[in-house]
Copies of this chain bind each other. A is one copy, B any other.
Amino acid sequence: MAIPKKIRGVLSPVLTPFNTDYSVAKERFVEHCRTLLDCNVGLAIFGTNSEANSLSASEKMGLMDLLVENGVPADRMMPGTGCCSISDSIELTRHAVGLGCAGTLMLPPFFYKGVSDEGLYRNYATIIDAVASEQLRIYLYHIPHVTQVGITYGLIERLLRDYPGNIAGIKDSSGDWNNTLGMLEQFQPHGFDVFAGSEPFLLQTMRHGGAGCISATANVNAHAISHLYDTWQEESADRQQAALNVVRAAFQKFPMIPAMKSAIAAHRQDPEWSTLRPPLVELTEEQSRQLQEALAAISFKPNTPRPF
């Protein structure tokens, strides 16, 4: 099998809709994925904003299969496959590679704190050796405020040296532009694709040679974020970035995952969309009302095309 071009651009950690009994709402999930694809947003299913760690490994494999069976192209999918358990990580990663996914986004194991780079290296190296496929492209996932376990430059360097074909890039959700910039300068020139962890950093990332962004807000503002990616070299780019930031800020006043689910539920008049698996909880009624007001004030409707 020929190795396809690497995925770039805008991806979304796809929200996972649940029924009120906490089972996955499969039809809503497929439909939401199609909406994102229509906006040219790739599918980073099983990210932080997907409540991925609230799903079992078998649920995740079932959902990957469901998408492919429903005609979603695997080469637009970058499932999260990094778990605490290396056996889960291997099984999920192998499954994703078997389906032909564009890549996998891999958290470090995050239960133990204060672990060594040697331990994290062994985690990734063992997975790569076990999956043993040229098709495997791993995107490291650096989100230290959640995991408390970060991806250091030293770890990237060692992995890139030993597995240049499999270590494909990173999502930097540190929120620290200097960290992203350092990676863009040190690793992007070696073909290691740096994705901003959210769209407020998209334009800067593109201007420094990066690969795009993987952002929560792409679940609701897919068109506009994707448009900035397509036109970042045009004169309108700074104005577009500013407009994206306004939408992001409106959501960030609330817990992000419940807020995005609430906005979609309201927009679709489908209250069940707002369901989250424990330990997350939905917005209160008052918070939902405030969010609706804030979105109305900026004339924002989820994933509705507007003039740019």
Q: Report if A302 contacts B (CB, 8 A).
A: no
* Contact status B119-A84, CB under 8 Å: no
For window 33-90 of chain A, which residues contact chain B by CB distance below 8 Å? Answer: 53-57, 59, 84-88
| Minimum C-beta distance from A213 to chain B (A) | 22
* Contact status A85-B280, CB under 8 Å: no
The one of B56, B84, B87, B111 that contacts A59, using a Cβ cutoff of 8 Å: B87
Tallying the copies of this chain within the complex gives 2
The one of B57, B122, B281 that contacts A278, using a Cβ cutoff of 8 Å: B122
The one of B59, B86, B279 that contacts A54, using a Cβ cutoff of 8 Å: B86
The one of B91, B123, B278 that contacts A86, using a Cβ cutoff of 8 Å: B278
Q: Report if A26 contacts B (CB, 8 A).
A: no
| Minimum C-beta distance from A289 to chain B (A) | 19
Query: How many residues of A are counted as interface, with CB atoms below 8 angstroms from the partner's CB atoms?
Result: 37
Q: With A and B bound together, what is the CA distance between A222 and B103 in angstroms? A: 47
Q: With A and B bound together, what is the CA distance between A278 and B87 in angstroms? A: 10
Q: Could you list 12 examples of A-B contacts with CB < 8 Å?
A: A53-B85, A56-B57, A59-B87, A111-B146, A112-B280, A113-B145, A113-B148, A118-B281, A120-B278, A120-B279, A122-B278, A122-B281
Contacts beyond the supplied A86-B278, A148-B148: 12 A-B pairs with Cβ under 8 Å? A22-B86, A22-B126, A54-B85, A55-B85, A56-B85, A59-B85, A112-B279, A115-B279, A118-B281, A119-B281, A122-B278, A123-B279
Q: 5 closest Cβ contacts across the A-B interface?
A: A119-B279, A123-B278, A53-B111, A122-B278, A53-B84
Please list the residues of chain A having a beta carbon within 8 angstroms of any beta carbon in chain B.
Answer: 22, 53-57, 59, 84-88, 91, 108-113, 115-116, 118-120, 122-123, 126, 145-149, 277-281
